[in-house]
Amino acid sequence: GESVGLHLPTLSVQEGDNSIINCAYSNSASDYFIWYKQESGKGPQFIIDIRSNMDKRQGQRVTVLLNKTVKHLSLQIAATQPGDSAVYFCPSSGSARQLTFGSGTQLTVLP
């Protein structure tokens, strides 16, 4: 998963452009991956998930890509909108379904 405890990396994109947020994970036994979005002052919200037997999964304007060879996960947001401005997390999972959230990526959509 992400580094834990570090300050947020940031990504700024123009409104209407596509956004790509990347995440590396360390546990090669992980079989399920989730992306969360957290808007300011709110709890994180589930965006999309993917199982390790898949390489790609698409939702509404979002696509998650999984590369198990290099243990890399990415979230692509098409036609980024101001409402997409938030912190995005890709937590790692534990044996009791506990999720470890790193510092996340702060996405800022520029007008």
Kindly tell me which of 18 and 58 has the beta carbon lying closer to other proteins.
58
Q: Does 32 bind other proteins (CB under 8 A)?
A: yes
Kindly tell me which of 42 and 111 has the beta carbon lying closer to other proteins.
42
Q: Does 97 bind other proteins (CB under 8 A)?
A: yes
Instruction: Look at residues 29, 20, 37, 109 and name the one whose alpha carbon lies nearest to residue 73.
Output: 20
The least distance separating other proteins from the CB of residue 35, rounded to whole angstroms, comes to 11
Kindly tell me which of 10 and 81 has the beta carbon lying closer to other proteins.
10
Instruction: Look at residues 85, 83, 35 and name the one whose alpha carbon lies nearest to residue 59.
Output: 35
The dihedral over CA atoms of 33, 35, 41, 42, expressed in degrees to the nearest 10, equals: -80
